[in-house]
Amino acid sequence: TLTVTNANGCVNLTTTFVQINPLPVITVNNPTACLNQPINLSANGGIAYSWSGPLGFTSFAQNPNIPSAQLNMTGGYSVVVTSAQGCSAQAVANVSVISLPNPNITSNSPVCMGSTLSFTGSGGVGYSWVGPNGFASNISNPSIAGVQLAANGIYTLVVTAASSCTNVTTASVLINALPQPTLNTNSPVCQFQPINFGGLGGVTYTWSGPGLTGNQQPNPVIASAQMSNNATYTVTVTDANGCVNFTTAPVV
């Protein structure tokens, strides 16, 4: 109300209505994003929004998206929010960009068929493995006992860090087949005649049987057969990959 008195002492008054509009009440999120994942900002409380942030970021969207987070995008993102009455206020959303874990796989590959294939995973707190022949595991250091040739191939490890960020790595595994040994003899032989043995299928040979145990020749001979040589003989063969197999044959 305004009351006015003029020079003659006359008085009059008038009124006007004043409305004070409140500033917008702003709520923002404080997102955490893994490296290379989207940063999703959000705000509400008005009808118009103006964002600014690190690396010259600007946006007029209410809920802008930054598609691929980088470490230098960490920081405060300011948003100016304008209400329907034209009043403006500002708030800050704090963004954190987290580094990815560094997964690593070690294994005892190459291994021979039938042995144990072992893996060691590192770089995080959670591990998820998949691989050939239906292999899957959620422990850091899995193994496959009695491994077969179907286990050859690429193994994938997804590592999860304490921050819940994940990263992936792969490793190639080789399973070597066992040698296929052959044992030949001139059996049956007469007493006092030579017994001739022949081994095939490897690079080294170890024999066992009466009169031959410990012999490492590929083609050993027992010069004079005795009745005690009636037995089953075994040759153990090792190939160039270090894989071992054996076969047997009777001598009469």
- Asked whether 80 and 88 are in contact (CB, 8 A), the reply is yes
Whole-prediction pTM? 0.77
Mean pLDDT of the chain: 96
Residue 74 burial (10 A CB sphere; 0-12, 13-18, 19+)? middle
What is the residue whose two structure tokens read 């819940």? Answer: 164
Query: Is the model's pLDDT at 128 over the cut of 90?
Result: yes
Rounded to 5 degrees, φ, ψ at 231 are -170, 175
Tell me how far apart the alpha carbons of residues 32 and 211 are, in angstroms, rounded to a whole number: 75
Please give the full DSSP string across 151-202, using - where no structure is assigned: G-EEEEEEEE-TTS-EEEEEEEE-EEPPP--EEEE--S--TTS-EEEEEESS
Question: What average pLDDT does this structure show over 2-18?
Answer: 96
Predicted pLDDT of residue 209: 96
Predicted pLDDT of residue 180: 96
- Asked whether 170 and 184 are in contact (CB, 8 A), the reply is no
Could you count the other beta carbons within 10 Å of the beta carbon of residue 187?
A: 16
Closest CA to 74 of 51, 100, 54, 50: 54
Q: Is the peptide bond before 64 cis (omega within 30 degrees of 0)?
A: no
Q: In this predicted model, what pLDDT tens digit does every residue of 166-204 receive, in sequence order?
A: 999 999 999 999 999 999 999 999 999 999 999 999 999
Tell me how far apart the alpha carbons of residues 53 and 24 are, in angstroms, rounded to a whole number: 21
**Local confidence band at 99 (pLDDT 50, 70, 90 cut-offs):** very high
Residue 146 burial (10 A CB sphere; 0-12, 13-18, 19+)? exposed
Tell me how far apart the alpha carbons of residues 174 and 185 are, in angstroms, rounded to a whole number: 35
Question: What average pLDDT does this structure show over 226-249?
Answer: 96
Query: Is the model's pLDDT at 163 over the cut of 90?
Result: no
Predicted pLDDT of residue 98: 95
**Local confidence band at 46 (pLDDT 50, 70, 90 cut-offs):** very high
Tokens coding 170? 């792969």
Question: What average pLDDT does this structure show over 2-17?
Answer: 96
